[in-house]
A and B are shown apart, each in its own frame.
Chain A
Amino acid sequence: MTTISIRKYASENGALAGLLVLALVIAIMQPAFLNAQNLLNVGVQAAVIAIMAFGMTFVVVAGGIDLSVGSIAALAAMVGALTAGPVGLVVGALCGLINGALVSYGKLPPFIATLAMLSVARGLTLVFSEGQPHETDSLVTFLGSNLAPMLPLPLLLMLAFFGITGLILTRTNLGRRMYAIGGNEEAAKLSGIDVRRQKLWIYALSGLFAAAAGLVLAGRLGSAGPQAAVGYELDAIAAVVIGGASLSGGVGRATGTLVGALVLAVLRNGLNLLQVPPFWQQVVIGVVIALAALLDSLRRR
């Protein structure tokens, strides 16, 4: 590769360059970071947020936002624990469908519609669980387990969802329409795209992905808790944005989101290894998110 193409590659993949630099710095300060088991841990830790963030990517590319994914994940996991895992997935998709209906047919701003769902889904989780954690069944527990030593299923699931997301975004009509709707909703409408119906599916997908993330989380912990995944929606949005998507819509990629989720996981893991106190960790993560967004905005000028 010539220097020019390296530079071009780096500038088009700013988040990836950031991730590599971050990993390098942590590895120098604490070589244990590069331990295979630790790297696998990072992958497992990234999985839940990444799967959620993939669903969020659809919504953000289409010019919306979904604040309810954390609550939907908790509700899906709880319903899954009380009944069966697949039921949780259906409930998650249904919640997303309701979000979509509120946004497209109810003409609510996505922020408001999904804020309402954030509260409703969390409330229902508390109602169904009666405030208690519930053990997950063997199917859900399996999702959080290792297929073989050094082969954690959450990591594989993350990669599978990554592949599905990339496929949907680049190879399906629904994906192409997400970019059109997020880029210019009016032009999409006048080009014959049924914007309202597409939004229904887009939010349903986000709900479905959130539910899957919730089941993976519950599987890892062996139980579904009423307060599980609180605040995860913000991590998911951060991952999407670090990955280079634009909150004004029309821009975003699956690889970016994957890298974004990995940045967050590497950072958390590294800060733990470096024994940074947890209160300070939050400060550092906030600064990194701001820096990532700042770099991206500088790059675009």
Chain B
Amino acid sequence: MKTLITARGITKHFGGTLALDGVDLDINAGEVHVLLGENGAGKSTLVKVLAGIHGPDAGTVEGTASLAVIHQELALVPELSVAENLFLNRLPRRFGFVDRAEMRRRAPELLDRVGLDIDPNAKVKDLGIAQQQMIEIARALDKDAGVLILDEPTAVLTDTETDRLLEIMGQLRENGVGLVFITHHLDEIQRIADRITVLRDGRSVGVLGPKATTQHMIELMVGRSIEEQYPRARQRRGKPLLKISNLTRRGVFRDINIEVRAGEVVGIAGLVGAGRTEVARAAFGVDDYDYGTVEVDGKPLRRNDVQAAIKAGLGLVPEDRKGQGLVLTATVGRNLELATLSNRDQKRLHDIAGKLRIKGRVDQPVKELSGGNQQKVVIGKWLLADPKVLILDEPTRGVDVGAKVEIYELINRMTAQGRAVLLVSSDLPEVIGMSDRVVVMAHGRVAGELPKGATQDQVMALAVQEISA
């Protein structure tokens, strides 16, 4: 097998911290090489060294193939057309002007290679996130990249979109492209990986073959064995703390009834677009609704009033951590005190940072933390506000296995203290494993409710059902 890129003994410091410590990596033609590790293990730094963004302090990168990186944050221009984005920076020209005919002629071939059947004249902003990602991949392929690095591409994709992406990755592998794939979803790894390099604390701790078990991967990754992936400890149910009644916003969600009692975790499952996030935001007072009521601990909330919701004891950890949860330019401490500005008690900030096991100093900019630690900061912000009910919207998206379990344990601790948790999640094993009851939404309606111990099939059956309007 032809080796496209050989990296040997890559070492990289950032200030005083050792990000990479003598890492070796080979990328072969026609293989999917998975980089696995917790957030902060050094995956992104390694990718940046391979791509030549960072020079290593020690070690060498040798390669014959050109390399393209598909980052999680997409590098497309939303206002330009699909074709223009594909050829951005090297638009075909004729008489000094952009040759639109040529562009339109060449675009479909490229789109074909990633299995996209869309109008090359469509504006990128009108496309879904999965399609946008495919466009980026198509663009990289046009540059004849021999090596394609995909940095957590599936974090923002639905299951069907992920299936499609894995299929395309398989085709590229057939064509001799070397693929480096970063993901936190172990099932995806089992489906496509040829080799798995596991990183921990900047070191390569093992290279596994395609038949590696989940258990083995997790153990290598976190350096200890994790007893249980979903350590839900049930509590005695108390009085209703959150009661959503007949909540309706025309065209978005209708007649939503959800009750969460003290000590309880209620999950909301459903497909993307089922209206779960919209209900959570409306209940928290971010968005308006047409009718219905939201009560916290027996007291009705004023609609569209976040301050009132917080005062009544409600908190929301939003789905988009960087866009909605954090002030990235500010320190960990400033972010923690965001919801409780009048409470500027340094000791409590340090306490909570310690309790959450946030890896990072209180006076460190939050953007320097890994995804899992950033999420803990967002949750910590609400713990300081001491809510009765916490709504968690996709709390473990883009979070590594170790931090995931810590977040689950936090959920347990909150319910043990008599609080209630509403858990919105697209991760089926998680929402089933951590919830005491699962409410399934479809097409803006509650399609049904399942008790603890429901199977994924049961949830999916409800999630995809057609509901007459």
Which residues of A does B touch, CB under 8 Å? 173, 176-177, 179-180, 183-184, 186-194, 246, 250-251
Contacts and interface: CB of A to CB of B under 8 A. Distances in A.
B454 interface: no
Q: Name the 10 nearest CB pairs between A and B, nearest first.
A: A183-B327, A250-B329, A192-B310, A191-B338, A191-B339, A183-B329, A184-B327, A173-B341, A186-B324, A192-B306
Interface string B100-127: 0000000000000000000000000000
Q: How large is the interface on B (under 10, 10 to 19, 20 to 34, 35 or more residues)?
A: 20 to 34
Given A187-B324, A191-B338, A250 B316 contact: no
A276 to B, nearest CB: 38
Contacts of A176: 334, 337, 341
Tell me if A's interface is mostly helix, strand, loop or mixed. helix
A246 B330 CA distance: 13
Contact of A180 (B286, B324, B338, B342): B338
Contact of B334 (A173, A179, A246): A179
Contacts of B324: 184, 186-187, 190
A144 to B, nearest CB: 38
25 contacts: A173-B341, A176-B341, A179-B327, A179-B334, A180-B334, A183-B327, A183-B328, A184-B323, A184-B324, A184-B327, A187-B325, A187-B338, A188-B327, A190-B286, A190-B306, A190-B316, A190-B318, A191-B338, A191-B381, A192-B306, A192-B310, A193-B341, A246-B329, A250-B327, A250-B330
A84 to B, nearest CB: 37
B307 interface: yes
A250 B367 CA distance: 13
Contacts of A188: 327, 338
Nearest to A180: B327
Interface in B359-404: 381
B69 interface: no
B182 interface: no
Interface in B168-192: none
A78 B381 CA distance: 48
Contacts of A190: 284, 286, 306, 316, 318, 324-325
A188 B328 CA distance: 11
A184 B286 contact: no
B422 interface: no
A241 B341 CA distance: 27
Contacts, number: 60
B414 interface: no
Given A190-B306, A190-B324, 17 more contacts: A179-B329, A179-B334, A180-B327, A180-B330, A186-B324, A187-B323, A187-B324, A187-B327, A188-B327, A188-B338, A190-B318, A192-B310, A192-B339, A193-B338, A246-B329, A250-B330, A251-B329
Contacts of B269: none
A170 to B, nearest CB: 11
B326 interface: yes
A192 B284 CA distance: 10
Contacts of B330: 179-180, 183, 250
A34 B103 CA distance: 66
Contacts of B318: 190
Interface in B301-329: 306-307, 309-310, 316, 318, 323-329
Nearest to B338: A191
A186 B323 contact: yes
Contacts of B325: 187, 190
Contacts of A192: 306-307, 309-310, 339
Contacts of B326: 184, 187
Contacts of B334: 176, 179-180
A246 B328 CA distance: 14
A37 B426 CA distance: 70
Nearest to B308: A192
A249 B228 CA distance: 44
Contacts of B328: 183-184
- Name, among B284, B325, B337, B338, the residue most crowded by chain A CB atoms within 10 Å (CB to CB): B338
Contacts of A179: 327, 329-330, 334
Nearest to B344: A176
B324 to A, nearest CB: 5
A190 B284 CA distance: 9
A179 B334 CA distance: 9
Contacts of A194: 306-307
- Name, among B310, B323, B327, B328, the residue most crowded by chain A CB atoms within 10 Å (CB to CB): B327
Nearest to A183: B327
Contacts of B339: 191-192
